[in-house]
Amino acid sequence: MGYRKVQGQALVEFAVSASLLILLMVGIFMFGQLLGWFHTLNNATRDAARVGAVCYDPDADNDLNEHIVAIVQQRTSGLPNSESVVVVITSYAPDGTPFANPQKRQRGGMLKVEVTYDAPVVPIPGILSSPRRLRSVSVFRVECDRN
């Protein structure tokens, strides 16, 4: 009789500790995945802002922001829910005032590219909501002049 009681108690202890261990492992996996998505977003934002700061325009149509958005979309195409990526581009004069025309670039000014992404995560009530909005901002000094 005593042996069965100890065996049953051991199973309950194992069930409790195993469920906590599994929950911890899933949390670590989700955090790692979220961190990977954030890293991808940061790289895409930085690459796109750099292209915009040097006024890269391979098709010579004077639409500099088109290439910035295209680079972000290309770099983030492997993310789940990639259609939720939003790109906001702001161009600043050297004195820090934003230009009304976001296509305008002035040498010595700043170009800010802000990208947001709604990452589909497994929700944990009270801790992590789904989707989780990730935001990346990159600012570069402009090295060219464009009107």
| 31 within 8 A of 127, measured Cβ to Cβ | no
Position 44 scores a pLDDT of: 96
Position 57 scores a pLDDT of: 82
Position 132 scores a pLDDT of: 84
Which parts of the chain fold into alpha helices (H)? 2-53, 64-75
Position 3 scores a pLDDT of: 58
Question: What residues contact 116, with CB distance under 8 A and at least 6 apart?
Answer: 85, 86, 88, 133, 134, 135, 136
Position 126 scores a pLDDT of: 74
Token readout for 74 is 């290309």
DSSP secondary structure code for residue 62 in this structure: S
Phi, psi of 86 (to 5 degrees): -120, 130
Position 5 scores a pLDDT of: 65
| 107 within 8 A of 85, measured Cβ to Cβ | no
133-to-38, 97, 115, 116, 141 alpha-carbon distances in Å = 10, 28, 10, 7, 27
Position 93 scores a pLDDT of: 92
Which of 113, 118, 132, 109 minimizes the C-alpha distance to 70?
A: 113
Per-run averaged pLDDT (10 residues), the chain, 147 residues: 65 87 87 91 95 85 88 94 94 91 89 94 73 92 86
